[in-house]
Amino acid sequence: MCKYMEQTFEDILSSLLDGYEKSKSKDVDALLREKSEELGLTEESISLVKNASEYFDKFAEKTNQLAEAQDDGISRKRWLTSDIEKSLGDYADEGKAAIMQAISEQVDLVINQQAGEE
């Protein structure tokens, strides 16, 4: 059995975090290359870990941006709308409207489902 198959995602992530804390350079890609060799990870596993890392970083960034906006008195809804509009900057107005409508419908659906569960 390959060594990486013995490792759970939690084991891999813990090893990476420990290595990151101990590393002086804080170069995530270099650390990932080093740990992937040490743990015997496949390219697919490395890609999954990189994607998870990028997701965590983006989540932390957005969480911090929302907190700063709320400190400035901006509502969550206003911040989210503004952030979505920035993300849709290159779309034509019709495309933006369609995407915003779809998001609004999904939010309404979630709210209605949550209300029904209570």
Backbone angles phi, psi at 25, to 5 degrees: -85, -30
Give helix 43-71 / helix 76-87 axis angle, nearest 10°: 130
- One digit per residue, the tens of pLDDT, for the chain of length 118 reads 344 445 677 777 787 778 777 777 667 777 777 877 887 878 887 888 788 888 888 999 999 999 999 999 999 989 988 888 888 887 788 888 888 888 889 988 988 888 887 6
pLDDT at 118: 65
79 DSSP assignment: H
- pLDDT confidence of residue 103: 86
User: CB count, 10 Å around CB of 53?
Assistant: 16
The enclosing H or E element of 31 equals helix 28-39
Q: Is the model's pTM score more than 0.95?
A: no
